[in-house]
Amino acid sequence: MIQVAVMGHGVVGSGVVEVLENHRDSIAKRAKEEINIKYILDIREFPDSPYAQKFTKNFEDILNDEEVRVVAEVMGGVNPAYDFTKRCLEAGKSVVTSNKELVATKGAELLEIARNNNVNYLFEASVGGGIPIIRPINQCLAANEFVEIAGILNGTTNFILTKMIKDNMSFEDALRMAQQLGYAERKPEADVEGHDACRKIAILASLCYGKHIYPELVHTQGITKITLDDVAYAGAWGGVIKLIGQVMKLDDGRVDISVEPMILSRESQLANVDDVFNGILVRGDATGDVVFYGKGAGKLPTASAVVADIIDCVRNLKTRKFVYWEDGDASLVRPYEESAFPVMIRAKAEDKAAALKKAEELFGNVKAVSRSDEKEGEFAFTTGDIAVTSADAAVAELEKAGVTVLSKIRISDL
Amino acid sequence: MIQVAVMGHGVVGSGVVEVLENHRDSIAKRAKEEINIKYILDIREFPDSPYAQKFTKNFEDILNDEEVRVVAEVMGGVNPAYDFTKRCLEAGKSVVTSNKELVATKGAELLEIARNNNVNYLFEASVGGGIPIIRPINQCLAANEFVEIAGILNGTTNFILTKMIKDNMSFEDALRMAQQLGYAERKPEADVEGHDACRKIAILASLCYGKHIYPELVHTQGITKITLDDVAYAGAWGGVIKLIGQVMKLDDGRVDISVEPMILSRESQLANVDDVFNGILVRGDATGDVVFYGKGAGKLPTASAVVADIIDCVRNLKTRKFVYWEDGDASLVRPYEESAFPVMIRAKAEDKAAALKKAEELFGNVKAVSRSDEKEGEFAFTTGDIAVTSADAAVAELEKAGVTVLSKIRISDL
């Protein structure tokens, strides 16, 4: 019998307890050991819980109990999760987590501590919720070089964009609906500003390239400025707007990494990933494109990923899993300004024909995009590949020529 | 340095050698050991190969060389692969394979031998080519009960159906094109009659439910009888025809398992899996739906899955991976005749209105489906859930009433 502790009794934490209890026998069979929850850590009271006697408010109870071999950290946030995780690892306990913020900001350090203490630090649930992605990247695709990873990594923004695309709902209304349904938090910034997706792509990039890529190095742009007009023009062009986290390996050894709204062709395998679903495309040099699709969040999907990691730890109490990356720095990432890609620009001008002619001068070969119920003076066009700095300069010139640029959205080749 | 042998130097086998050589350093890093190919077994001569000195025609060279710890069996077919695999496992060598026929027919026995000899028998490449599916099911989803698995498991038939649906190409023409492109073999029966998909769903079912489900217990129907008229009516109904391998857990502990053409709503996540791609939907009670999508065949995707298994064996020379199922028998499978599902029936009659009325009497509530360029006397309708035996009886009655039933295709709720 292996004793474990669950730190945090929120949505995911209570799900972990539920899955461990409800699947006790099949889990024991797979783990080759019975697994028992000895402690549940939470500062709140749960007097009516059937597990009431397992609760503690004192982290030291867990830390100092040598029987506890594996700890699930499902508290979220950096503090005190960082301190607790560090001390558990140093005490020779394996830790599993769904805490993407902690892994994205302190992963290299915690993985190093785990290695030095010959224990495991696993985080399958930190990306893609219940979708197996960390482990397949790490193991199944071991014989690949990763050319690119791109994904719809945040279910909340994908739900909002889906409502905008399919139901013509404004961003504000869609956000309100997401909040009512419990998909978005009252303070939705982490989701709608792209921070959550940023942490996830930073974790995937670190795992693939073996060096920590910190979230602050990732150009991150959310979906708050996307309007129904943008959605309509993307549709007229033959695409949909999705919030994409993407990392590509460059020939010089650096990576190109960003989170931003992108227009995807309707033919793209990620274009049909709708609602709260996540989809992650992994492009390996040998395996080609593999897409993983499923619910990226939610109590039971995420909890089942945490429990899978617990099982893995129990099965590997004496051996270490090969999940590791070194520390990294800004030199790993190509500055976003140097990236080049096509964009769609939506603008307004009194003389549309003259404005388009000016755009052609400034951006090179452009293609006009029109929609059925175009507003007075409104127009849009797509460009070829253009560096971010050049595009910004061209936009400024265009505005000097009396054109109001309303939006500029990246077009993806996915 | 760990010595391995590769048995078979066909498409997959030569790919395995290529991946092992081209990714030597990154593989050594992940396996924590350098991996060296000591032997390549093939009855043919490869005098111009850069690895010419590694070739042998004598299996005993591999069997008797104690240095060889891991063997990749990529020969295909049951004989002599079965005998070779057995003897390698008995000699204490781990074996990895892409050979779905062997795993589907002899899996339980070989897994038992592996267990008794404390070695591994891994077969990630046997299903889904380069798509990681065996390992995620086995590990990441360990905390789930599997409610259902359904997939497009054969790239050749999916390519043919895609050509029929999108380019209005006949089955024969699409098959010829697939053969010209190297997607279909000169003798295409294993693909087009559904045997390949049958082996794959049998493997997935055995893995999920822990007991060997033999291919001969799986109702298997290919796509050779699907016509462009069927495709058109499916389209008019709002769907596409796909060859689906499917297994569902029943309340009585048995499984419902089959391979057959099914009509999927265009909204289904599997409906957009086109061309030679595979898509596999795994429905877990905790994780919900997870879909895996990618190239299900091809030299490098499949080879990279074999190499990932080799790496796993090298990393676990002293421990066993938990991949195992017991032997099974016919009592595990509900006879296909007892299954119930809706069908679409396409038929011909002189008096269509009378025929539809008769259909209503026989099948219960039916819905007519019509298409724009309907042929003389042709009509189609869908039914509600109906047991296979009842549907067959109703078809016979309908024919007695002077109606020619042209096709009957299952409608999936996926």
Question: DSSP 3-state helix, strand, coil percentages of chain A (rounded to 5)?
Answer: 40, 25, 35
In which band, very low, low, confident or very high, does the pLDDT at A139 lie, cut at 50, 70 and 90? confident
Backbone angles phi, psi at A285, to 5 degrees: -70, -30
Determine whether the interchain pair B293/A295 forms a contact, defined as Cβ–Cβ distance below 8 Å: no
Closest partner residue to A308 (CB to CB) among B27, B141, B298 is: B141
Give me the number of domains chain B comprises: 3
**Residue B346 and residue B245 in one domain:** no
Instruction: Determine contact, residues B35/B314, Cβ cutoff 8 Å.
Output: yes
Whether residue A145 is contained in a domain is answered as: yes
Supply angle C-alpha A272, A275, A281, rounded to 5: 45
Q: Is A404 exposed, middle or buried (0-12, 13-18, 19+ CB in 10 A)?
A: middle
Please check whether residue B30 touches A, CB under 8 A: yes
Who has greater pLDDT, A320 or B222? B222
Per-residue tokens: B331? 């009592």
Q: What is the mean pLDDT of each run of 10 residues along chain B (414 residues)?
A: 97 95 89 95 94 96 98 96 98 97 97 96 93 83 82 96 97 96 92 98 95 97 97 97 97 96 92 92 86 87 93 86 88 96 97 95 95 91 96 97 97 94
B7: left (phi > 0), else alpha (psi -120 to 50), else beta? beta
**Residue A116 and residue A141 in one domain:** no
Question: Which residues of B participate in catalysis according to the annotation?
Answer: 200
**Residue A151 and residue A282 in one domain:** yes
Whether residue A368 is contained in a domain is answered as: yes
Q: Examine the residue annotation and report whether A321 is marked as an active-site residue of this protein.
A: no
**Positive or negative CA dihedral for B254, B260, B263, B269?**
positive
Instruction: Determine contact, residues A271/A291, Cβ cutoff 8 Å.
Output: no
Whether residue B331 is contained in a domain is answered as: no
pLDDT, position A142:
66
Tell me how far apart the alpha carbons of residues B117 and B95 are, in angstroms, rounded to a whole number. 12
CATH, residue B318: 3.40.50.720
For A243, which DSSP code? E
**Residue A157 and residue A67 in one domain:** no
Instruction: Determine contact, residues A212/A392, Cβ cutoff 8 Å.
Output: no
Tell me how far apart the alpha carbons of residues B306 and A295 are, in angstroms, rounded to a whole number. 29
pLDDT, position A140:
60
| pLDDT exceeds cutoff 80 at A14 | yes
Whether residue B330 is contained in a domain is answered as: no
Backbone angles phi, psi at A92, to 5 degrees: 85, 20
Task: Please state the pTM of the whole predicted model.
Answer: 0.86
| pLDDT exceeds cutoff 90 at A358 | yes
pLDDT, position B141:
62
Rg (C-alpha) for chain B, rounded Å, is 23
pLDDT tens readout for residues A244-290 = 999 999 999 999 999 999 999 988 889 989 999 999 999 988 878 88
**Residue A405 and residue A344 in one domain:** yes
Longest Cα separation, chain B: 77
Determine whether the interchain pair B139/A290 forms a contact, defined as Cβ–Cβ distance below 8 Å: no
Cα atoms in the 13 Å half-sphere on the side-chain side of A282: 33
**Residue A307 and residue A163 in one domain:** no
**Positive or negative CA dihedral for B10, B16, B19, B24?**
negative
A100-116 and A81-90 helices cross at what angle (nearest 10)?
20
Contacts of A272 in chain B (CB under 8 A): 269, 272
Comparing C-alpha atoms, which of B107, B109, B130 is closest to residue B215? B107
Contacts of B290 in chain A (CB under 8 A): 130-132, 292-295
pLDDT, mean over chain A:
94
Q: Classify B399 as helix, strand or coil.
A: helix
Instruction: Determine contact, residues A219/A257, Cβ cutoff 8 Å.
Output: yes
A142, B16, B296, B300, B304 from B125: Cα distances, Å: 13, 11, 9, 11, 8
What residue of B is the nearest CA neighbor of A322?
Answer: B30
A-to-B residue pairs, Cβ atoms closer than 8 angstroms: 166
Please check whether residue A304 touches B, CB under 8 A: yes
**Residue A279 and residue A311 in one domain:** no
Domain with A245 in it: 134-295
Tell me which residues of chain B, numbers 257 to 276, contact chain A at a CB-CB cutoff of 8 Å.
Answer: 269, 272
Please check whether residue B117 touches A, CB under 8 A: no
Per-residue tokens: A86? 């560090």
Closest partner residue to A291 (CB to CB) among B139, B294, B307 is: B294
- Per residue, the 3-state secondary structure of A127-145, as one string, reads CCCCCCCHHHHHHHCCCCC
Whether residue A331 is contained in a domain is answered as: no
Determine whether the interchain pair B292/A288 forms a contact, defined as Cβ–Cβ distance below 8 Å: no
CATH, residue B367: 3.30.70.250
**Residue B270 and residue B160 in one domain:** yes
**Positive or negative CA dihedral for A162, A164, A165, A166?**
positive
pLDDT, position A141:
62
**Residue B316 and residue B349 in one domain:** no
Whether residue A333 is contained in a domain is answered as: no
**Residue A77 and residue A182 in one domain:** no
Please check whether residue A232 touches B, CB under 8 A: no
CATH, residue A362: 3.30.70.1150
Closest partner residue to B141 (CB to CB) among A132, A140, A290 is: A132
Whether residue A358 is contained in a domain is answered as: yes
pLDDT, position B189:
96
Measured in angstroms, the CA of A55 and the nearest CA of chain B are apart by 23
Q: What DSSP assignment string belongs to B54-94?
A: GEES-HHHHHT-TTEEEEEE---SSTTHHHHHHHHHHTT-E
**Residue B243 and residue B311 in one domain:** no
**Residue B197 and residue B262 in one domain:** yes
pLDDT, position B142:
66
Whether residue B221 is contained in a domain is answered as: yes
List the beta strands (DSSP E) in B15-67: 35-41, 55-56
In which band, very low, low, confident or very high, does the pLDDT at A88 lie, cut at 50, 70 and 90? very high
pLDDT, position A160:
97
